[in-house]
Amino acid sequence: MSILKENKQQLRKQYRRRRDNFVGQLDSASRNLSFRRLPSPLARLIQPDQTVALYRSIGSEAPTERLIEYLTEIGVRIALPRVTDDDSLEFRLISSVDTLVSGFRNIPEPDETCQLCRPDVMISPLVAFDRSLRRLGQGGGYYDRSFAKYPDALRIGLAWSVQEADKIPVEPHDLPLQMIVTECEIIE
């Protein structure tokens, strides 16, 4: 394993712990109120006729449940990722999170009967980020491949503020985000 890959693995461990500890100290009301609406600068970029690809949050990830409900209410089409046999993500439209099935690593995802789509906006999870809008993901490269596949889609990261690092090491395939939203601020 290269030094860069080892550094990324160490950062993932460190920032998962930080995120877990932070979220573990939040009361349920604070956690439920976070990320339930789009901040104004981001809301202005999303139109009701667009398709927004989100993720279904698990564990201590920045929660998306309320955001999905809100976007659905304002007429935005919601797509969630589904891991394909060729180890990539495809995005499928959903009408409700109640229709999701257990998928890759038991993560809820749309079933194959949901309509395939091309996202206009991609809101991705992350383990850590920096002020240069670099993102450290889970390590599988799923979102980096998706960003490359949909280069015109607006790339946004959703994270807790404690996930900010001084500098994220990058490889040639790592694409930067265009915006990061935390519970405290928007980084552009």
Give residue-wise pLDDT tens across range 82-132.
998 888 899 999 988 888 888 888 888 998 899 999 999 999 999 999 999
pLDDT of 97: 80
- At 21 the three-state DSSP class reads helix
Paired tokens of 188: 């552009």
C-alpha distances in angstroms, 128 versus 81, 89, 101, 167?
A: 20, 21, 28, 9
Q: What share of the chain has pLDDT > 90, as a percent?
A: 65
Q: How wide is the angle at C-alpha 146 spanned by C-alphas 164 and 155, nearest 5°?
A: 45
**Domain with 14 in it:** 3-187
Give the domain CATH number at 98: 3.40.50.10420
Q: How far apart are the first and last CA of the chain?
A: 33
Of all residues in the chain, what percent are helix, strand and coil, respectively (each to 5)? 30, 20, 45
pLDDT of 24: 94
Q: Is residue 42 scored above 80 in pLDDT?
A: yes
Q: What is the pLDDT of residues 87-97, one digit of tens each?
A: 889 999 998 88
Paired tokens of 66: 């309320």
Q: What is the pLDDT of residues 159-185, one digit of tens each?
A: 999 999 999 998 888 899 999 999 999
Rounded CA-CA distance 64/108 in Å is 13
Cβ atoms within 10 Å, residue 134: 20
Contact between 45 and 188 (Cβ < 8 Å): no
pLDDT of 82: 93
Q: How many CA atoms lie within 13 A of 97 on its CB side?
A: 15
Q: What is the pLDDT of residues 45-63, one digit of tens each?
A: 898 889 999 999 989 999 9
The amino acid occupying position 102 is S
- Say how many domains are in the chain: 1
pLDDT of 96: 81
pTM summary value: 0.92
pLDDT of 1: 61
Q: Is residue 16 scored above 80 in pLDDT?
A: yes
Give the torsion through C-alpha atoms of 23, 169, 147, 19, to 10 deg.
Answer: 0
